[in-house]
Every structure is written in C-alpha cells, then in structure tokens.
Amino acid sequence: MNKPVFTGSCVAIVTPMNYDGTINYDEYGKLIEFQIENGTDAIVTCGTTGESAVMNHKEHCEVIEYTVKKVDGRIPVIAGTGSNDTAYAVELTREAKNLGADAVLSVTPYYNKTSQNGLVQHFNTIANAVDIPMILYNVPSRTGCCIKPETYVQLAKNPNIVAVKEASDKIGDVAQTLALCGENFTLYTGCDDMTVPVMSLGGKGVISVFANVCPKEMHEIAQYCLDGDFKKGAEMHLYYLELMNALFCDVNPIPVKEAMNMMGYNCGRCRLPLVSLNEKNYAYLKSVMAKYGLLK
C-alpha cells in the first residue's frame, strides 16, 4: 500500500495579483498562514486555481519556491507541473523537486490531447525522469482528454505515480477506478460538491477551491469522512453546498478570488483572458457570502 501524500483537505490555492498583474507575495504569505492556521492538510500551488496557465517559467518556479519556504515543512506542498509538452513537464517537475516540493500535480495533455496509450507514455516518461511522488490530474472539461479507469491500473504500476485528482464528475468511473486499483493508488476528488460521495467510496480527500474561503470547514468535512462519520460529513457538505456552487458561477478562479477580496484579502483580479465577474454574478456571490457570514 502506498502512503498517501496527504489525507483530508488540500487547498488549490489562489495566486494574489497586484493591480499591475504582478504576483503579490505579501498577500500570498497571508493566505498560506490562513490555510495552515485553519487546518488545511496540504497546499497545491500553481494549479488551475493558482493561474499557472498564465505564469511564465520564472514566475512558476518562484511561486513554488516561495510556497515551500513559507510552509516550511508544516504541511505537504504539491506543485503543479503539468504540460501538454511532455519534455517541458519533465523540466518543470525537475525544477519543483529541486525547489523542495513534496509532490507534483500533473494534468493530462490539453489541446493536442492524446490516446490512452499516449497518456501512459506521457505520465510514465515524467515519472521515470524525476523521483518525486506524482498526482495525476484528470479534468476533461478543461483538457478534452479523460483518463479511463483501466488506464489508471497501468499508471499505478509506476512507483512514482501515487494518486489522481479526479475532476470528471463521473461517479461511476470513480467507483470503477477504486475497485480496480485498490489500496495501491490514492484517489482525491477535484470537485468540492463530490467530496462526501467520493470519500464514501474510498477516496482519501479533496483538492479544493472551496477551502480557499473555508479551510476549517473543508478540513472538517473531509475529516468526518476519514473517521467514518459520513452522516456528519454529509450534513456539513449539504449546509455549504450553496457556497461551493457559488464559487463556480463563472470560470474558476474568477469567483473565488473575488470571494477572497470580499473577505478582506487583497487577491486582485485574474490575468487575461479571465475577466472580472459581471454585475449579476458579483451580486449573487456577495449575497451568498453574506448568508454564510463571510463578508468583511
């Protein structure tokens, strides 16, 4: 049985931006401390929610380095190092290991996509080149590429490929993956609203957008599930479901960065091509945040 990189709630943390679009490290440090103080079990930096797609190589490495140093071993740091270019994914994964990341998150190839055999070769090439635990990231709504349960069986044979962030919304595929792979492969959900259902089947946690806003609550939901108290986990899950959904009223991470701004943090705006919430969605998100007592 492979030891999980983490169990519970891992925040897919936002990257705060200054008005000119540069990274606001002072505010980023505050967000990291907010997460750790409120029980978050791990941090993914430079993921989708962290806007890695619009970071250049230098920024990407600097954010990983800052995160590792700021966290200082208190919880695992997982660095997003995926690419649709296998060679570049290897390069970025090497950088992440050298910078001290505990594990990496590697998304399926996007735009060019690939076959299931291509996925096996792509991920094995990265895993064989860099000795660091790799969490696969399956998010077909963004990439147009989906890992099948049977493919996970092949990938799990590689000792460095230890888990997947499964964001396909297909609960049947989640069940089949867990049934086929057993204890040799860890499955995390990448969908906040699927946390309790996935963990009830044997998932070990969530890589969460919602945790940016409510780290303590997301940790508690996941911990109830890990403790086998799915009734309490479900009660909390259903109570916060409206907020979880509101954070996806527009393309992630637009709403969650705005939610953090509403809480008094200075996260700024997303980089283009993502733009600010329209008036209707802003008013909706603000009303939901107010309902949960989260407005500053």
Catalytic residues, by residue number, are 137, 165
CA angle, 38 then 209 then 260, to 5°: 70
E strand or H helix that includes residue 76: none
- Parallel, antiparallel or unpaired: strands 205-208 and 186-189: parallel
CB 256 within 8 A of CB 212: yes
Q: Report the alpha-carbon angle 267-270-275, nearest 5.
A: 130
Amino acid making up residue 112 = N
Which residues fall within 8 angstroms of residue 158, CB to CB, at 6 or more apart? 123, 124, 127, 128
Residue 37 CB: number of other CB atoms within 10 A? 10
Residue that is written with structure tokens 């270019």 in the block: 85
| Token couple for 224 | 């109830």
Contact 260, 209 (CB under 8 A): no
Instruction: Confirm if 258 and 231 have CB atoms less than 8 A apart.
Output: no
* End-to-end CA, the chain: 45
The continuous run of DSSP H or E covering 222 comes out as helix 215-226
| Residues 69, 103 contacting (CB under 8 angstroms) | no
Would you say the C-alpha torsion 199, 204, 206, 211 has a positive or negative sign?
positive
